[in-house]
Amino acid sequence: MRNYPYLCTPKQDAQSILYMNKYLSISPEVAEALSEHRPVVALESTIISHGMPYPQNVETALMVEQTIREHGAVPATIAIIGGKLKAGCTKEEIEYLGKKGQAVTKASRRDLSILLARGEDGATTVTTTMMIAAMAGISIFATGGIGGVHRGAETTMDISADLEELARTPVMVVCAGAKSILDLGLTLEYLETKGVPVIGYGTDELPAFYTRHSGFKVDYRIDTPEALAAAFRTHRELGLSGGMLVTNPIPEQYSMPEDRINRAINEALREAAEKGIRGKATTPFLLAKVKDLTGGDSLKSNIQLVLNNARLAAQVACLIG
Annotate 153-202 with DSSP letters as a single string.
HHHH--B-HHHHHHHHS--EEEESBB-TTB-HHHHHHHHHHTT--EEEES
The full set of domains in the chain, from first to last, is 8-138 (3.40.1790.10), 139-321 (3.40.1790.10)
Which long-range contacts does 8-12 make (Cβ < 8 Å, 24+ apart)? Answer: none
257 falls in which pLDDT band (50, 70, 90)? confident
What pLDDT is stored for residue 31 in this prediction?
Answer: 94
| Residue 132 reports pLDDT greater than 60 | yes
Question: How far is Cα 243 from Cα 195, in angstroms, rounded to an integer?
Answer: 9
What pLDDT is stored for residue 187 in this prediction?
Answer: 96
Mean pLDDT of 243-254: 96
| Residue 238 reports pLDDT greater than 80 | yes
- 22: enclosing H helix or E strand: helix 13-23
Mean pLDDT of 236-244: 93
Q: How far is CA 300 from the centre of its chain?
A: 18
Mean pLDDT of 166-171: 96
- The partner residues of 107 in beta bridges, in order of sequence, read 124
Mean pLDDT of 287-295: 78
What pLDDT is stored for residue 14 in this prediction?
Answer: 44
20 falls in which pLDDT band (50, 70, 90)? low
| Residue 71 reports pLDDT greater than 60 | yes
| Residue 1 reports pLDDT greater than 50 | no
**Among 265, 259, 306, residue whose Cα is nearest residue 285:** 265
Mean pLDDT of 47-65: 94
What pLDDT is stored for residue 120 in this prediction?
Answer: 98
| Residue 185 reports pLDDT greater than 50 | yes
Mean pLDDT of 127-143: 96
| Residue 19 reports pLDDT greater than 70 | no
Tell me 41's DSSP state. E
* Measured CA angle at 246 (ends 44, 37), to 5 deg: 65
| Residue 186 reports pLDDT greater than 50 | yes
Annotated active-site positions, please?
Answer: 44, 179
| Residue 282 reports pLDDT greater than 90 | no
Comparing 4-13, 147-156, 204-213, 257-266, which segment has the lowest mean pLDDT?
4-13
Q: Could you give the percent of the chain with pLDDT greater than 90? A: 69
